[in-house]
Structure 1
Amino acid sequence: MAEDQVQILHGNTFVVSDAQGDIEASATDPSGLFSLDTRFLSRWVLTVNGDRLTALSTDDLHYFESRFFLVPGSGTVYVDAKTTVIRQRAVTEGFREQLTVLNHDVKPVELTIRLDAAADFADLFEVKDALEKKGTRSILTAGGQLVMTYERESFRRATTVSSTEPAEVDDGGLQFSILIEPHGSWSTELDVRVASLGPGGRPLTAQTPPADEARREALADLEQWVANAPRLTCDWDSLITTYQRSLVDLAALRFSPLIARADSLPAAGLPWFMTIFGRDSIFTSLQALPFTSEPARTTLRVLGDWQGNRVDDFRDEDPGRILHEVRYGELTAFQERPHSPYYGSVDATPLYVVLMDEYERWTGDAQLVRDLEMEARAALRWIDDYADLQGNGYIAYQRRNEETGLENQCWKDSWDSICYRDGRLPGFPRATCEVQGYAYDAKMRGARLARLFWNDATYADELERQAADLKARFNRDFWVEDGQYYALALDADGTQVDALTSNIGHLLWSGIVDADRASAIAGHLLGPRLFSGWGIRTLAEGEARYNPIGYHVGTVWPFDNSFIAWGLRRYGFKAEAARVAAGNLDAADFYHGRLPEAFGGYERALTRYPVQYPTACSPQAWSTGAPLLLLRTMLGLEPVGDHLIVDPALPVGIGRIELLDIPGRWGRIDAFGRGLVEVNRGPKLRNQLGDPTRPHHLG
């Protein structure tokens, strides 16, 4: 996202504009008003007497509301404006814009206020790929409204623009001719409504409440969301800012798609991914569990409802497979894209079982585990019955939809992310290392669920046997002896794809790493090739494809780092985990508390600030969740039965932390910690080994 873009969102709808509040969308620009993967407004430009406006300031009031202070004219160093224009915009299903014009002169002023409006009704995939529309657009001006419609067979969408003040309405927008008295004002409320229409023009979505009521409901919901979360106090003010930003952004990204009914779960991120992503929703729910269990509960139910039940090559669907992505736009409706839903990920399915177990550990919600027993068993069967494409007992992937399916179906899903040291790309199928860790973890956690909740000790024993066998084979087949780390993947013939990557950190949090090899893995993760000072790079410096601003080949991903830090704690590397947390949280300070999807992997000594990745999503769900998991990791929060273990290991510079009213099966409990781990956060970084911390136990 460009720095001068302003984005507001609520539920299924979001608006991306420039700093003046204007929308001028190009073919591949994600500006506009979007709802359910369709752009309902591609142009929304305000002029006064034919002049564009200059922004004085933009207020980010709430995630669903912004205010723009503007003056007419642009391009001069000094603007002696006699007129102020204020646009206050709030998103509902569409948006409402309060437009106010103030006259600061001692004499009356006549003004022509115009809003140019247009809707291209582009599917989000058409925006990304600059594709042409195939349907018919039409415009109707009647009753003081501008109605723009699009139709392609039974696929119908409409945008309606109206105003509380009389306007001249034409095919290109609305115009007001006004007179404002000295030191007077004029205002109107503009209402932009969107509709998905079925046969006979019947709306496919429920009627929304009036704008004022919707705003009040959104404010009350946000206040309740924040009030229900644990309270953080600490000596490091920027950490409090980051924590509060994460809570608000997580609230903003709650998404209630049609298949979720009235419940909400995390959408993946703005602007491209405001929809369900199985992997992203699971990871974000895991990150958020110490703070709220609502996303996990809804994610488990929704993904279970839409679990695969047949073999469908177009959608890469198998029985038991958890979906990757759902879309509602035109291309999906006409099966020009497979996202109805699309199942092309290999990690969401084992992670589904991981989330179910972790959710129960935190909440004690045994009923949900029993309700979803068949879904969990189906996910575990998928690992053995459908995912072993190489015949060697490992989860592997190869898309069956060659035209529009994802080539890489792991979390690093860009085309060049899976590579050898020398930069070559392996053939298919590919079996990436971290997915084997997830499979191991899923089997171990599935065994616990079977024994404690499904009354099936025989199945539990079998899952534990399978997990032990997988761990032994994995540590034999993936270990790169000359580098003392695990290979990124196995290629089609079982050869190691030997690049050094951050994926090895995910092996720690899954528990598949042999204990005597964990120290070597921690050393690589905190070594100079992977650790930039701000965080752990996706690909090690020195590998052939390394690029500090390559999407998965050298950037730092906060989500990735948060799970790596969690894994370091699992194996006892508390100081190393604190160092990763300190780097990421320092970076968050430069982004006003909002960690982006990814940032540059440049060495900290070279940049003195984290370099923005050009097209990073922000906010993005699992980056929003990263500070939450880092807090859990630094405080050493682990549920054990009906108790919460607190074992803090904080960087010295953080000082004292108090996280109060942590929710769980124990009710509410407080956790305290003080910075004890020496972490050099300056440009010259040292690896601090050892564990100078003292554990504390509460509960």
Structure 2
Amino acid sequence: MRLDEINILQGDAFVVSDRRGEINPAPAVPDGMFYRDIRHVSRWQLRLNGKQLEALSADNLEYDEVVFFLMEPTGTIYQNPSLSVTRRRGVAAGMYESITVHNFTTDSVAFELSVLFDADFADIFEVKDQMSKTGHLYRARREGGITLGYRRGDFCRETHIAAPGAFITEESLTYRCELAPGQDWCIDIEVRVGVEADVAVRRRPHCPDMPYTISDWLDSAPVLDTDWDDLLHIYHRSLLDLAALRFYPFPRDQASLPAAGLPWFMALFGRDSLLVSYQALPFHPELAWTTLRALAERQATHRDDHRDAEPGKILHELRCGELAHFGDRPQSPYFGAADTTPLFLIVLDEYERWTGDVQTVRELEPAARAALEWLDKYGDLDHDGYIEYQTRNPRSGLVNQCWKDSWNSIVHADGTLAKLPRATCEIQGYAYDARRRTARLAREHWHDSQLAERLERDAEDLYRRFNTDFWLPDAGYYALALDGDKKPVTTLTSNIGHLLWSGIVPPERVDALAALLCGPRMFTGWGVRTLAAEQPAYNPLEYHNGTVWPHDTAIAAAGLARYGRREEANRLAMALLEAGRYLHHRLPEALAGYPRENSLVPALYPTACSPQAWAAGAPMMLIRMMLGLEPDAGTLSVRPQLPEGLARLALHGVRFHGARAEALGGTAAHDLDRLRPTPGPRELMTP
């Protein structure tokens, strides 16, 4: 995210501009108004008497609306401007803009106001990779507006600009006006998108699975009470960002899901949606409800090499742009992820623990059984008991199908790429946890004790073999992966934190992992590096080989807390939350991996998404960890242990089993450490 960048988003649409509100055409820069992976406005520049305006200030009013205060340039500090401009912009299945010109002089002023526009209809991947278009661009002027369009075969996208009263050319719209002293002049411009010829997309009404307004969304979340003011702001920002990232990827559905992040990943990602649903369960469990159902309905049913699909597999990514439509990228949905399927089972179990929604667990039993079959039959490529991955689509499929899915993230200690297929350690941990959790569902809710017993045996067998094959006794940690020759990849990475989270680590090995996660090789002072320092592949600015990802650090903290290492977990939590203090209380997708003592303030990874879903969910996961919130057989266990410097932490109205519960820590705590659900305000869960 650039320092001068302003973005707004709602549902399937978002707008990225500079602090003047200008959308400036530039290669590999995601400025523009986007809808469902296509840039519908690539240029939108305001001119007053032919000159670009200067910014006074700009601020988001809400996640979907922004106001810019601008002034006419005079060219000298000795002359004040005669005109100022307020530019108010919103986004909703398009863009609307209200522009007001103010005359603060004692004379009448004539002026000309123009907007220069363009639409390149670039796919988001074409923006990122600087690719050229192959289809046909067209324009059609009409009374009070103009339509900009693009067609390639059966793929059509249009931008409809309505500007009543303007003089319109194929690249600009212009107003001429004279203002009396002290008067204002205002015009409204509407930009709507179309996915077929001559038909604009209607703005979607609010849907029943979500709160009707942002106030409802905020009011339905638990109330945080703490003596640390920055944490209050971080929590509020996280709630707003998750609300903003909700979108509707399936046109016939009424269910919204969390998109992964703005600008590059405003799409459904199975891994991201599942993890952020897990993070948000005590706060907004309806995210998990919609995510689980939507992913189950689109679970793979047959093998498709182009999509890396096999029966029972949970999708990785859903794209709606031109490149996916024509197969230049894997056609949607794409299934190239080896971790989404066990994560689906983990979240299904965790969802029931928090909500008591047995009906959903029973309705999704076929999907869960298919996911289990995928673990055994398709995920294990060579039948050695481990989940491996290797794309069957070498032209456009993902090389790495774990959460660190950049091409160079799985490297040996000498910096060379690991041979395919690869079995990364954290996926084995997920598979272990998924089997144990699904065994409970099978026994308690599907009444299939035979399946439960088999899953428990399989989990125990995986536990034993994993702790033999992946453990590096001389190094004192687990291998990142087994490569295609079953050779351990001995690189030290943050994946060991995920192993603690999954519970696959024997208690006697926790001390060694805790020391590494909180030691100088991995801990920057802001969070845990994805790859430890002083290794050949380490780079503090490499996407997965040295950066700090907030969700990754939060998972490590939760893993440490699982094994009772609350002091170390709190150290990671406080470091990450303190970073939010310097970042307008919003955690981005990733931070640079520089040591805190060198940087003093956290440095952003250059192209980090912001907002980003599982980064927004990370503070929620940390709050849960610090309060020791754990669902246990219909009872909410609250065992707070607060970090030094945090005297009071409480959540009022925790969402649990269709009611509300209190979680109190520090000076807010009472003698009770186990609280049963208490009646609360209106729930927003879909039955």
- Residue aligning to 1:177: 176
Deviations 1:307-327 (A, max 9, x none): 011111100000011000001
Residue type matched to 2:482 in 1? L
Query: Greater CA deviation, 354-363 or 517-526?
Result: 517-526
Rounded Cα–Cα distance in structure 2 between residues aligned with 1:185 and 1:614: 41
Deviation at 1:78, TM superposition (A): 6.4
Distance 2:147 2:481 in 1: 53
Corresponding residue of 1:208: 203
Residue of structure 1 equivalent to 2:552:
560
Describe the SS at the equivalent of 1:258.
coil
Report the counterpart of residue 62 of structure 1 in structure 2. Answer: 62
Residue equivalent to 1:683:
none
1:696 is aligned, of 673, 680, 684, to: 673
Is the Cα–Cα contact under 8 Å of residues 652 and 675 in structure 1 kept in the other structure? Answer: no
Residue 318 of structure 2: SS of its match in structure 1? Answer: coil
Residues 651, 675 of structure 1: 8 Å contact kept: no
Structure 1 residue 79, shift from structure 2 partner: 6.1
Residue 682 of structure 2 aligns with which residue?
none
Q: In the alignment, which residue of structure 2 is the partner of 1:689?
A: none
Q: Residue 635 of structure 2 contacts residue 674 of structure 2 at CA under 8 Å; is this kept in 1?
A: no
Q: Tell me the CA shift for residue 608 of structure 1.
A: 1.1
Change (3 A) 1:666 1:697: farther
Which shifted more, 437-446 or 514-523?
514-523
Name the aligned partner's letter for residue 104 of structure 2: H
**Deviations 1:331-379, CA, capped at 9 Å, x for gaps:** 1111221131100000000000000000000000000000000100111
CA contact (8 A) 2:116 2:173 kept: yes
C-alpha separation in 1, matches of 2:29 and 2:332: 24
1:160-309 aligned at under 5 Å gives the runs 160-164=160-164, 166-197=165-196, 201=198, 205=201, 207-208=202-203, 221-258=213-250, 261-309=253-301
**1:639 corresponds to:** 631
Q: Cα 1:231–1:74, aligned 2, differ >3 Å: closer, same or farther? A: farther
Offset from partner CA, 1:555-581 (integer Å, 9 cap, x none): 110000111111111111010110010
Is contact 1:654–1:675 with CA below 8 Å preserved after alignment? Answer: no
| Distance (Å, rounded) in 2 between the aligned partners of 1:591 and 1:242 | 10
Q: Where do 5+ consecutive residues of structure 2 fail to align?
A: 677-687
Alignment of 1:446-461 (within 5 A): 446-461=438-453
1:507 and 2:502 correspond:
no
| Other-structure match for 2:155 | 155
1:356-371 equivalence runs, <5 A: 356-371=348-363
Confirm whether residue 405 of structure 1 aligns to residue 382 of structure 2. no
What is the match of residue 81 of structure 2? 81
Pick aligned residue for 1:613 from 591, 595, 605: 605
Alpha-carbon distance between aligned partners in 2 of 1:325 and 1:160, rounded to the nearest angstrom: 29
Letter in 2 for 1:461: E
Farther-moved stretch of structure 1 (218-227 vs 269-278): 218-227
How many aligned residue pairs are there?
673
Shifted more, 588-597 versus 66-75: the winner is 66-75
Pairwise CA distance, 1:553: 0.8
Deviation at 1:392, TM superposition (A): 1.7
For 1:654, the aligned partner's letter is: L
Alpha-carbon separation, structure 2, partners of 1:606 and 1:409: 34
Q: How does 1:361-440 map to 2 (within 5 A)?
A: 361-440=353-432
Per the alignment, do residues 101 and 657 of structure 1 end up closer, same or farther by CA in structure 2, a change over 3 Å counting? Answer: same
Q: Secondary structure at the match of 2:675?
A: coil
Partner SS for 2:317: coil
What's 2:135 paired with? 135
Alignment of 1:465-504 (within 5 A): 465-504=457-496
Give yes or no for contact 1:538–1:557 (8 Å, CA) kept in 2. yes
Q: In 2, Cα distance between the equivalents of 1:7 and 1:340?
A: 26
Matches within 5 A, 1:576-595: 576-595=568-587
Q: Which letter maps to 2:170?
A: D
Give the TM-score of the pair, scaled to structure 1.
Answer: 0.94
**Cα deviation code 1:638-660 (max 9, x no counterpart):** 01122111111111212211210
Give distance in 1, aligned partners of 2:429 and 2:331: 27
| Separation (CA, whole Å) in 2 of partners of 1:438 and 1:105 | 67
Instruction: Determine helix, strand or coil for the equivalent of 1:445.
Output: helix
Comparing 252-261 with 147-156, greater Cα deviation is found at 252-261
Q: 9-18 or 151-160: which moved more?
A: 151-160
Does residue 657 (structure 1) correspond to residue 649 (structure 2)? The answer is yes
Selected match of 2:542 from 542, 550, 556: 550
Provide the residue aligned with 2:26 in structure 1: 26
Larger displacement relative to structure 2 (589-598 or 257-266): 257-266
Distance 1:93 1:478 in 2: 49
Aligned counterpart, 1:95: 95
Range with bigger deviation, 601-610 or 430-439: 601-610
Kindly indicate whether the alpha-carbon contact (under 8 Å) linking 1:53 and 1:74 is maintained by their aligned counterparts in 2.
no
Tell me how far 1:77 sits from its aligned partner. 5.6
CA–CA separation in structure 2 for the residues paired with 1:78 and 1:261: 59
Could you tell me which residue of structure 2 aligns to residue 16 of structure 1? Answer: 16
Identify the range of structure 1 (48-57 vs 606-615) with the bigger mean alpha-carbon deviation. Answer: 606-615
Q: 1:37 and 2:37 equivalent?
A: yes
CA distance in 2: counterparts of 1:548 and 1:675, whole angstroms: 39
Q: Distance in 1 between matches of 2:75 and 2:14?
A: 30
Question: What CA distance in whole angstroms lies between the structure 1 residues aligned with 2:523 and 2:211?
Answer: 41
- Tell me the equivalent position of 1:688: none
Aligned to 2:126: 126
User: Contact 1:650/1:675 (CA < 8 Å) preserved in 2?
Assistant: no
Is the contact between residue 433 and residue 489 of structure 1 (CA under 8 Å) also seen in structure 2?
yes
Match of 2:683 in 1: none
**Counterpart amino acid of residue 203 in structure 2:** T
Shift of the 345–150 alpha-carbon distance from structure 1 to 2, 3 Å rule, reads same
Question: CA 1:554 to 1:84, structure 2 compared with 1: closer, same or farther past 3 Å?
Answer: same
Tell me if the contact between 2:210 and 2:256 (Cα under 8 Å) persists in the aligned partners.
no
Contact map agreement 1:642 1:666 (CA 8 A) in 2: no
For residues 383 and 259 of structure 1, do their structure 2 counterparts lie closer, same or farther at Cα, with a shift above 3 Å needed? farther
Residue 220 of structure 1 and its aligned partner are, at CA, apart by: 5.2
Cα distance in 2, alignment partners of residues 695 and 592 from structure 1: 36
Residues 117 and 245 (structure 1), Cα distance of their counterparts in 2 relative to 1, 3 Å cut = same
**Letter of the 2:178 counterpart:** L
What amino acid maps onto 1:55 in structure 2?
Answer: A
CA offsets 1:415-438 (integer angstroms, 9 cap, x no match):
211111111111100000000000
Q: Which deviates more, 138-147 or 281-290?
A: 138-147
Q: Classify the secondary structure of the residue corresponding to 2:512.
A: helix
What's the RMSD between the two structures over aligned residues?
1.8
Inter-partner Cα distance in structure 1 for 2:79 and 2:675: 61
Displacement of 1:225 in angstroms is 0.3
2 CA distance for matches of 1:544 and 1:637? 40
Kept in 1: contact 2:557–2:569 (CA 8 A)? yes
Instruction: Return the alpha-carbon distance in structure 2 between the equivalents of residues 306 and 76 of structure 1.
Output: 61
Indicate if the aligned counterparts of 1:648 and 1:695 stay in contact, CA closer than 8 A. no
Paired residues of 1:390 and 1:492 also in contact (CA < 8 A): no
Which amino acid in the other structure matches residue 9 of structure 2? L
> Relative to 1, partners in 2 of residues 1:219 and 1:49: Cα closer, same or farther, differing over 3 Å?
farther
Q: Distance in 1 between matches of 2:523 and 2:391?
A: 32
| CA shift for structure 1 position 549 | 1.5
Change (3 A) 1:74 1:404: farther
Deviation at 1:391, TM superposition (A): 3.2
Distance, in Å, in 1 between the alignment partners of 2:295 and 2:79 is: 55
Q: More displaced, 334-343 or 356-365?
A: 334-343
Q: Tell me the equivalent position of 1:598.
A: 590
- CA–CA distance in 2 between the matches of 1:642 and 1:142? 62
Aligned residues of 2:306 and 2:331 also touching (Cα < 8 A): no
Q: CA deviation at 1:157?
A: 1.0
